[in-house]
Amino acid sequence: MLLQTKEKDWLWESIKSISKVSNTILGSEYNHFHHNQINQTLDEIRISCLTSNVGQEAFLKEVVNTSFGQIRIGWNKYQSNEIFWKDLFKTLKINSLALARAPGINLSVSELYINFQAWLAVTINSIFVLQDKNRQAELRDSYIGLLERWSDFLLDLARDFGLENKHIGLPIIQSVENNLRIIYGIQGKFELKLEKLYRTQFNTLSWYFHKTDRVDESFLVNLEQVQELLLNEISSNLKENIDSTQIIDLYIRLVQQHFEKVSVGYGYNHPRVIEKLIDIGLVLTKHNIDTTKLVKLIDDLNNKYLILNREYFDRKSKTPNLMGPDEYQLCKEIHDLENDLFSYNSGVVMGIRLLLRREITKDIWDRFIAQIKYCEGVEFTTVRSF
């Protein structure tokens, strides 16, 4: 116990000291040797944290926070120093991943990334209100440089670990959402086109299933947030007559990947994944976008689902009282969606269904669903219990 206490005290004092030294050094002129020593010390502290049985998460959190402190100090001071940024983000990546792997509930990565997102928002808002136009332009350009580096860092994380990871995936997704809001703000304020930066956000989301071989659920929290983000983006862009082809393709590709990776789930998972294509089909129909290929994909995926479950459906045809879905489970999912969108008796909806309830009329619904010939003539009755 005494040994553990001494080890804990040493780690804590080391972290506090290196944080102060880092702030002091970066507050003056850049010295590569000193900065390299700081990063090496952070590496040593990380290794000590990982080999320690005491307070891993708390200590690693402070190590990661030290790197975020360096960004806050250096963003407009060392904006042209590529070595500084390369070393900083390399250290931040390694330590973020170490923190993500710390045992326990571990919400520290999300907390730190949310705090940094808040700082990004406060900083750009302070630039927006500057009266000195030359100073404003200077800080704006430095800030855009930081946002580009930050976005490349998030893309690098996604490429290495995907976004399904419960500790690192959600902070990346939330950061992308925050970046998009900032990009819109900058473009609106300064009439700039940040197309490459904009595309980087969606490139990051495209790596969602990287490093994920299989999932057991049709509802994935992180994926639901990505799909809601994409559908909102598609809807908003189509209202402004902005080409959304790449984002539409990304949304559809993620649904296809989810379909291929999800387990059978007693026959329920695949139809619930396919239902996500109904969501985008409704949005496209509202804006008179051709959905012929999308409808064919829905039919193709449903046929795959029927083949995957053929043995079960054969048994069910001979034993009608057998528990579980039948061949028309997709139609049942579509019926439930319709009920959520248009029934006065439906409950509170959130996320994508809330978006659809606001955007989709019964006429739009009827026009799109009429193309799903497999469900033509199939009817369900909703029975609610109280």
Counting Cα atoms < 13 Å in the Cβ hemisphere of 300 gives 10
Domain shared by 386 and 239, yes or no: yes
Does the predicted TM-score (pTM) go above 0.75? yes
Residue 218: alpha-carbon gap to chain centroid: 17
Token digits of residue 242: 């902005």
Confirm whether 49 is domain-assigned.
Answer: yes
Domain range for residue 96? 1-106
Confirm whether 187 is domain-assigned.
Answer: no
Confirm whether 160 is domain-assigned.
Answer: no
Please state, rounded to an integer, the average pLDDT across all residues of the chain: 89
Who contacts 352 (Cβ-Cβ below 8 Å, separation ≥6)?
224, 227, 228, 231, 276, 279
Looking at residue 382, what is its pLDDT? 56
Q: What are phi and psi of 161, to 5 degrees?
A: -130, -5
Q: Looking at the predicted structure, is the pLDDT value of residue 191 above 60? A: yes
With contact defined as beta carbons under 8 Å apart, do 248 and 262 qualify? no
Type of residue numbered 355? L
21 — pLDDT class (breaks 50, 70, 90): confident
Cα separation, 146 vs 320, whole angstroms: 62
With contact defined as beta carbons under 8 Å apart, do 71 and 88 qualify? yes
Sign of CA dihedral 39, 175, 144, 201: positive
Q: How confident is the model over 229-235, as a mean pLDDT?
A: 97
Q: Which of 56, 67, 64 is nearest to 102 (CA)?
A: 56
Who contacts 379 (Cβ-Cβ below 8 Å, separation ≥6)?
335
With contact defined as beta carbons under 8 Å apart, do 247 and 202 qualify? yes
Confirm whether 93 is domain-assigned.
Answer: yes
Looking at residue 157, what is its pLDDT? 95
Confirm whether 328 is domain-assigned.
Answer: yes
Q: Which of 97, 193, 210, 115 is nearest to 153 (CA)?
A: 97
Last residue of a domain, one of 68, 89, 106: 106
Confirm whether 180 is domain-assigned.
Answer: no
Domain shared by 384 and 239, yes or no: yes
Domain shared by 98 and 239, yes or no: no
Who contacts 380 (Cβ-Cβ below 8 Å, separation ≥6)?
331, 332, 335
Sign of CA dihedral 315, 321, 326, 328: positive
| 262 DSSP β-pair partners | 215
Last residue of a domain, one of 106, 123, 139: 106
With contact defined as beta carbons under 8 Å apart, do 84 and 150 qualify? no
Last residue of a domain, one of 55, 81, 106: 106
What are the C-alpha distances in Å from 16 to residues 34, 54, 367? 17, 17, 63
Kindly calculate the radius of gyration of the chain based on its CA atoms and give it in whole angstroms: 25
With contact defined as beta carbons under 8 Å apart, do 119 and 147 qualify? no
Per-residue model confidence as pLDDT tens digits over 88-119: 999 999 999 989 888 776 788 999 999 999 99
8 — pLDDT class (breaks 50, 70, 90): low
Confirm whether 362 is domain-assigned.
Answer: yes
Q: What's the number of domains the chain is made of? A: 2
Least confident range of 168-172, 293-297, 382-386: 382-386
Q: How confident is the model over 114-125, as a mean pLDDT?
A: 97
Domain shared by 100 and 241, yes or no: no
Give the highest mean pLDDT range of 81-85, 226-230, 376-380: 226-230
Domain shared by 240 and 386, yes or no: yes
Confirm whether 2 is domain-assigned.
Answer: yes
